[in-house]
Amino acid sequence: MNNLSQTAPAESAGRSKLAALNDWVAQVAALTQPDAIHWCDGSDAENAALVAKMEADGTLVRLNEQTHPNSWLHRSHPDDVARVEHLTFVCTPEQEDAGPNNHWMAPADGHAQMDALFAGCMKGRTMYVIPYCMGPIDSPLSRCGVEITDSAYVVANMRVMTRMGAPALARIEREGSFVKGLHSVGELDPNRRFIMHFPEELTIKSFGSGYGGNALLGKKCHALRIASHQAKAEGWLAEHMLILGLENPQGETHYIAAAFPSACGKTNLAMLIPPEGYRQDGWKVWTIGDDICWMRPGADGRLYAINPEAGFFGVAPGTSINSNPNALKTVAHDTIFTNVAVTADNQPWWEGLSEGKPVIDWRGNEYDSSKGPAAHPNSRFTVSAQQCPSYSPKAEDAQGVPISAIVFGGRRASLVPLVFEARDWTHGVLVGAAMGSETTAAATGAVGVMRRDPMAMKPFCGYNFADYFSHWLSFDKEGAKLPKIFHVNWFRKGDDGKFLWPGFGDNLRVLEWMIKRVKGEAAAQETPIGNLPSADDVNIAGIQLSDEANAKLFGFDHAGWRAEFESIGEYLQEYGPRMPQALHDEQQRIARSLDA
Q: What whole-number percentage of the chain has pLDDT above 70?
A: 97
Neighbours of 356 (CB within 10 A): 16
Neighbour-count burial for 268-278, b at 16+ CB within 10 Å, e otherwise: bbbbbbbbeeb
Residues 284 and 429 in one domain: yes
CATH number for the domain spanning 318: value is: 2.170.8.10
Residues 269 and 378 in one domain: no
CATH number for the domain spanning 149: value is: 3.40.449.10
Closest C-alpha to 23, from 207, 166, 149, 146 = 146
Rg of the chain on CA atoms, in Å: 24
Residue 13 has pLDDT above 50, yes or no: no
Summarised one tens digit per residue, pLDDT across range 187-211 is 999 999 999 999 999 999 999 999 9
Residues 425 and 530 in one domain: yes
Residues 228 and 264 in one domain: no
Residues 35 and 120 in one domain: yes
Look at residues 363, 387, 411 and tell me which one is the last residue of a structural domain. Answer: 387
**Residues 401, 288: contact at Cβ < 8 Å?**
yes
Which H or E run contains 204? strand 203-207
Look at residues 235, 251, 273 and tell me which one is the last residue of a structural domain. Answer: 235
The span from the CA of 423 to the CA of 257, in Å, is: 18
Residues 416 and 291 in one domain: yes
262 assigned to a ligand binding site: yes
470 assigned to a ligand binding site: no
542 assigned to a ligand binding site: no
Closest C-alpha to 117, from 46, 209, 226, 248 = 209
- With bands split at pLDDT 50, 70 and 90, how would you rate the model's confidence at 12? very low
Summarised one tens digit per residue, pLDDT across range 454-479 is 999 999 999 999 999 999 999 999 99
Summarised one tens digit per residue, pLDDT across range 439-457 is 776 666 777 788 899 999 9
E-strand ranges in 426-468 read: 436-438, 450-452
Look at residues 387, 407, 439 and tell me which one is the last residue of a structural domain. Answer: 387
**Residues 174, 194: contact at Cβ < 8 Å?**
no
Residues 294 and 317 in one domain: no
What are the catalytic residues?
264
536 assigned to a ligand binding site: no
Q: Which residues contact 369 (CB under 8 A, 6 or more apart)?
A: none
Q: What is the mean pLDDT of residues 222-229?
A: 98
Residues 198 and 326 in one domain: no
Summarised one tens digit per residue, pLDDT across range 117-148 is 999 999 999 999 999 999 999 999 999 999 99
Q: What is the pLDDT of residue 1?
A: 42
Residue 14 has pLDDT above 50, yes or no: no
- With bands split at pLDDT 50, 70 and 90, how would you rate the model's confidence at 2? very low
504 assigned to a ligand binding site: yes
CATH number for the domain spanning 274: value is: 3.90.228.20
Q: What is the pLDDT of residue 443?
A: 67
What's the predicted TM-score (pTM) here? 0.95
Closest C-alpha to 274, from 265, 282, 266, 264 = 282
595 part of a folded domain? no
Residue 6 has pLDDT above 80, yes or no: no
CA angle 231-98-482, nearest 5°? 35
Neighbours of 247 (CB within 10 A): 16
DSSP state of 211: S
Which H or E run contains 89? strand 88-90
Q: Which residues contact 71 (CB under 8 A, 6 or more apart)?
A: 62, 63, 331, 333, 334, 335, 336, 337, 348
100 part of a folded domain? yes
Average pLDDT, the chain: 95
Summarised one tens digit per residue, pLDDT across range 419-428 is 999 999 999 9
Which H or E run contains 432? helix 425-433
Q: What is the pLDDT of residue 17?
A: 77
Summarised one tens digit per residue, pLDDT across range 227-280 is 999 999 999 999 999 999 999 999 999 999 999 987 788 999 999 999 999 999
Domain count for the chain, please give it.
3
DSSP state of 541: T
Q: What is the pLDDT of residue 447?
A: 74
Q: Which domain holds residue 481?
A: 238-310+392-564
Which H or E run contains 337? strand 335-338
Summarised one tens digit per residue, pLDDT across range 510-538 is 999 999 999 999 999 999 999 999 999 99
